[in-house]
Amino acid sequence: MLRERAKQYGAREVYRFKSGKETDYKSMSWNELVYETEKVSLALLAKGYGFKSNIGIFSNNRPEWSITDYGILGVRAVVVPFFGTATKEQVKYIVDETDMELMFAGNIEQLEKAVWVLDHSTSLKNVVVFDPEAQITDPRCMRWDDFISSGNNEDNRTKFLKVLDEVQPDDLATILYTSGTTGEPKGVMLGHDNFMFCFGIHDQRLDVTDKDVSMCFLPLSHIFERTWSYYILHCGAVNVFLENPREVIEVLPVAKPTLMCTVPRFFEKTHEGIVAEYNKWPSVKKKIFDWSLAVGYKYSGYRRKSATVPFSLHLKRKIADKLVLRKLRVIFGGHIRMMPCSGAAIRPELLNFFHATGLFINFGYGATETTATVSCYKSDVYELESCGTPMPEIEVMTGDQSEILVKGNTVFKGYYKKPDETAKVLTDGWYHTGDEGHFSEAGNLVMTDRIKDLFKTSVGKYVSPQKIELLLAQDTYIEQVITIGDNRKYVTALIVPVIAQLKEYAGTLGLTFNSDEHLVSLKEIRDLIENRINRLQSELSSFEKVVKFTLLHEPFSIENNSMTSTLKFRRRVISEKYKAEIEAMY
């Protein structure tokens, strides 16, 4: 596919990226991409790697990531990615299980972890380093430039052409290790055929062309961005690499993408920022904003039902767009046509807000085991409360406990070296997702919770933590919520408040405090949060309501191991870390 597209597009731009400390973007053409990719393949062959070799990539997003990916695939070897924030122990686990001999490392921190694994693993022999500024003293490590120039000779080229002729559609392409929110990580095996089939069904559902520009913002080590970046290549579009995802809001107006994969947390944080600004405005400006957004809500309501928009509403929408809505879209660069979004639940009200601004957030549902997308919105008719309709040629049904089951050519080949785990989730071609869900009357898939996350109180009532957490997290004073209640007599919660908001509130009351930890312990602050969550959960059944809560001054994050690299809560880790606080609530 890569070579076919390169023949078609030749000197046209395929990648855009920043190099080192430079501030301006550089471009790479299709011809250059294939040339650089083949240098990786030749170097791998020169060092004895090929069919079924498991080769690691431990790096943040950068063009070398994808060049290495394609180079490994080009010799029928298998790509094993690591999340850029993985600990050295997590890296070692994957290296050991896959008998990995070669790894590519991105920055200096990742190199240090890789060297530790070199010292503690029996299989890993060499590390190639992308960062040109990294100081390399270990003879087992090699610079990127030295590596890719090491195999450029006619003998290797002859070998390479022979390998290309031997490629099979069902060759194993990658082993992707799941985040491991519970238990040890499992390596999901996906073949070239899984990805190629995936592109075809996305062509039937999405409108992506070679005129689009996508921002590579989520980690390439995750199935969502990885498959999307492959699909962008398939479509002949341009991909812009972003190495540091924290810079996304600053970079969007510069890169001006038309497409970008996102996760719900991205919109939650952006909305919080908009609300914080709104609260500072004078009443006249607020009224203009409210009127414009109300028009946007009405307009969006017609659009998602594919209904004819009244002429008067068209006119109002143009005015609202000029006054407010267009300015909100500029936050995202001003050129976004569509933003695929998945990875966690999202509040329909949040989706509705951004759709009202004119952004099409295409919310969907998927898993690593299904080569990402199982369902997503259609562009003309969709329900905000759902994950859209199943993708073309993919079968979806619900089984015992309303579990979502998926069948089709995107379903994975099994877990690497874990036949028992594979047998638990794959039966007669159906993948048992472990997610609870149902279909709406209109045929849209609604994912309600992880079955393993559901807990049963000691009075025998089943409770959905996701339902309560989404409800409480919509409050402007609350950033994160984790509910507890399994085999307990009532539901409690660990709540991370928005510290900046609390400080403003404390200022209005004249409260004094000497730290964030001191701030969240104040009675007035607890009373504020208690009143707000009681109002929010007034409609919940008595057994679902949060009875007691603890305020935390430190957010759950990837850095403190409370969240996975895809921003899912590690509930077991959190429960253990805050065991004393939880027990105190009972």
DSSP string across 31-44: HHHHHHHHHHHHHH
What is the block-wise mean pLDDT of the chain (586 residues), using blocks of 10 residues?
96 92 87 97 97 97 97 98 92 97 97 97 97 94 96 91 94 88 81 98 97 96 96 98 91 95 90 91 97 98 96 97 96 96 90 97 96 96 96 97 97 97 96 95 93 82 88 92 92 95 94 95 96 93 94 91 80 92 95
In the block, tokens 């009075």 appear at 459
Distances in whole angstroms, Cα of residue 436 to Cα of each of 144, 432, 450, 451, 453: 45, 10, 6, 6, 10
Distances in whole angstroms, Cα of residue 167 to Cα of each of 34, 36, 51, 211: 17, 20, 9, 30
Q: Which long-range contacts (CB under 8 A, 24 or more apart) does 164-173 make?
A: 164/74, 166/51, 166/76, 167/76, 167/192, 169/193, 169/196, 171/76, 172/52, 172/78, 172/413, 173/73, 173/78, 173/79
d(CA 545, CA 534): 8
Distances in whole angstroms, Cα of residue 483 to Cα of each of 480, 489, 491: 10, 13, 7
Of residues 424, 430, 492, the one with CA closest to residue 457: 492
| Length of the chain (residues) | 586
Q: Where are the beta strands (DSSP E) in 342-393?
A: 361-367, 372-376, 389-390
Distances in whole angstroms, Cα of residue 215 to Cα of each of 157, 176, 243: 33, 22, 11
Q: Which 3 state secondary structure label does DSSP give 272?
A: helix
- In this prediction, residue 345 carries a pLDDT of 86
| Inter-residue contact 526 to 493 (CB < 8 Å) | no
Domains and CATH numbers, the chain: 27-167 (3.40.50.980), 455-584 (3.30.300.30)
Beta-carbon contacts of residue 419 (< 8 Å; ≥ 6 apart): none
The residue type at 183: G
Distances in whole angstroms, Cα of residue 217 to Cα of each of 245, 303, 315, 365: 6, 28, 35, 19
pTM: 0.88
| Inter-residue contact 64 to 175 (CB < 8 Å) | no
Beta-carbon contacts of residue 203 (< 8 Å; ≥ 6 apart): none
Of residues 52, 405, 323, 343, the one with CA closest to residue 179: 343
The alpha carbon of residue 467 and the mean position of all alpha carbons in its chain are separated, in whole angstroms, by 21
